[in-house]
Structure 1
Amino acid sequence: MALKTLPEIVAETKSALHCLTPERAKELMGKDSGVLVIDVREPDEVANKRPANTINIPRGVLEMKITEHTTDPDQTILLHCATGGRAALAAASLEHMGFRNVSVIDCSADELIAHLGDG
């Protein structure tokens, strides 16, 4: 059996997730002030450019840090990263933990900043 490549893993993971456009994410954020928008990029990436109204929890510590922000399994959580790959893997992990309302904002960080503004 051949090993899967990262792009294959990400594509397979995304196919099982709810993915949003940045327009739809902005609309959800406007309707519900309790939406958590989590940027799973590394702190040095976020320091250079950060979408407005996002929380930075790097992918590598998400499972350990998410409960500092919510323990509600029905909390609306939107995840994003630089290109969508880490966000997809992070979303699958949160679903595995028991969160039921998790979506990936499937776009680049630059595109999300264009829609939400720079934070």
Structure 2
Amino acid sequence: MKSREDLLKAAREEIREMSVEEVKAYLDEGNDSVLVDIRGLDEWERGHLEGAIHIPRGRLEAEVEEKVPDKSKETIVYCAGGVRSLLGALSMQELGYENLISMDGGFGDWEDAHYPCAQPPTPEEDEGPLNPERLIDEISHLEALVEEKKEKLKSTR
């Protein structure tokens, strides 16, 4: 049985790795690569590379062919530190993807280098009622439903 280190060694022999500095320079040159972020949703929501496609590692094999249909297009896969992306890229290679790069150091090193990140909108920008009167109506309606359910419970006891 292979160890984790055996898997990583085999993946490094098959998959090209680039540091975050190399990836940044590469993208700045205008290379049209697909970026695939395989971190979890909570990690993705805290920030990610601009233009990246999110496919959590646990869903990669099930979703990648739909989200990245061109298997010949250069694809840069990244995670938080570079291990999941390396193994994910190896899985993608087994699915027929040809031009894969794993970003060594991952999003953690990207952030540490203070490179630009796409962030979800802050709650002040994204949330809140567009129509406060409607929100008040909804709250009143829900309170009435709760009271109705309480009355039904009391009557069945």
Same fold (TM > 0.5): yes
* Bigger Cα Rg: 2
Distance 1:118 1:82 in 2: 13
Alignment partner of 1:26 out of 18, 24, 30: 24
Distance 1:54 1:115 in 2: 17
8 Å CA contact 1:52, 1:116 repeated in 2: no
8 Å CA contact 2:40, 2:57 repeated in 1: yes
Residue 62 of structure 2: aligned partner: 64
Q: How many residues align?
A: 116
Distance 1:115 1:36 in 2: 21
* RMSD (Å) for aligned C-alpha atoms: 1.9
Gaps of 5+ in 1: none
Percent of residue pairs bearing the same amino acid type: 24
Answer yes or no: is 1:99 the counterpart of 2:79.
no
Q: Which amino acid aligns with 1:70?
A: V
Deviations 1:61-108 (A, max 9, x none): 112211233322211100111111110111011111111101101013
Residue 11 of structure 2: aligned partner: 13
Task: Tell me by how many angstroms 1:112 deviates.
Answer: 1.6
Distance 2:38 2:65 in 1: 15
Gaps of 5+ in 2: 119-157
Check 1:19–1:11 CA distance in 2 against 1; reply closer, same or farther (3 A cut): same
8 Å CA contact 2:81, 2:108 repeated in 1: no
> Greater share of helix residues, 1 or 2?
2
Q: Which amino acid aligns with 1:98?
A: G
8 Å CA contact 1:19, 1:105 repeated in 2: yes
Task: Tell me by how many angstroms 1:51 deviates.
Answer: 3.0
Distance 1:73 1:50 in 2: 22
Give the structure-1-normalised TM-score.
0.83
Answer yes or no: is 1:51 the counterpart of 2:49.
yes
Give the structure-2-normalised TM-score.
0.65
